[in-house]
Structure 1
Amino acid sequence: MGLKGKLTVEKEIKCHGDVFHDLFRHKPHHLANITPDHIKSCDLHEGEFGAVGSVTLWKYTDEGKEKYRKAVLEAIDEEKKLLKFKAVDGDVLQIYQKYTTTIHVDSNGDDHLVTWTIAYEKLSEDSPDPVSHLNLAINLTKEIEAHHAK
């Protein structure tokens, strides 16, 4: 039926991978200052930033429209610098039954690679693949890199 899918993008960054990982784990609320054209706010609703089970409300712009997503931090692998967020409310769940975003940072010496993976299950065959969300991830990565490369 083709209702389940996975999209992945890898982007090399010049800033250190630890900085990128730490930003999404412990300081996602700073993203509104770093990427104001894309992230409008990230507010903590339950738990504490960076803890499994914490719930954040993201307000962001996708294809020129303001949207929101409430997400739970489902998994952390500090050794692999991996974070997995599961959508539990928001615009995205009007199109997808299940939706998770995984951010993985791989550092090898001076080389740092960010991998974004979006796993989803469409509500119907007519639902689009979340390509615009992948583009948003690429743009976020570029702006974070530019901010920290200063």
Structure 2
Amino acid sequence: MGLKGKLITSIEVKCEGHSIHDILHTNMHHVPTISRSINQFEIHKNEIIKVGLIISWNYDEGGQNKFTKQIIEDIDPHKKSIRWKIIGGDVLEMYNSFTIAVSCEPQWVTWTIEYEKKTEDTPEPLIELGIILDLNKDIEGHLVKN
């Protein structure tokens, strides 16, 4: 059995938090053009962004191209939250399970990563958290500029 952990960060945003939720919920296909880290986005199942949708991302991690395949586990339009479970890709080489959740309030965006490490020597997913924070900054910058 691995070691479970949770990382939570809340970021004050200059734009409305619901605008970030809207991009992540209804306009995910725009993320590769907004983000410096996300290179490609693909929908594998369904056409509408809803629970059960399977998506994949290619992203840059320290100059290396990485891949993640995810399923949307939960969307709450009233709470402006989304939760993705990683079901394939590079992250699962080090973690038995990995979920990412975002919750958007008017001036705050909260990201949560829940994970289970394969071994005690596996590092905390701080690099992955950094990529998420960069994505948040890129989306916020895009929204403030427009």
After TM superposition, the score normalised by the length of structure 2 is: 0.94
Q: Is 1:143 the equivalent of 2:138?
A: yes
Q: Any stretches of 5+ residues in structure 2 without a counterpart?
A: none
CA distance in 2, matches of 1:87, 1:66: 17
Pick from 113, 117, 124: which aligns with 2:112?
117
Q: What does 1:1-150 correspond to in 2, within 5 Å?
A: 3-35=3-35, 37-107=36-106, 112-150=107-145
Aligned 8 A contact 2:18 2:105 in 1: no
1:28-74 C-alpha deviation (Å, 9 max, x unpaired): 12111011x20001110011342100000111112221101000000
Aligned CA-pair RMSD: 1.3
1:87-122 C-alpha deviation (Å, 9 max, x unpaired): 000000111000000011012xxxx10111000001
Q: How many residues are aligned here? A: 145
Matched residue type, 1:56:
I
Aligned 8 A contact 1:27 1:49 in 2: no
Q: Percent identity?
A: 39
CA distance in 2, matches of 1:43, 1:100: 19
Aligned 8 A contact 1:83 1:102 in 2: yes
Aligned 8 A contact 1:56 1:71 in 2: yes
Matched residue type, 2:53:
S
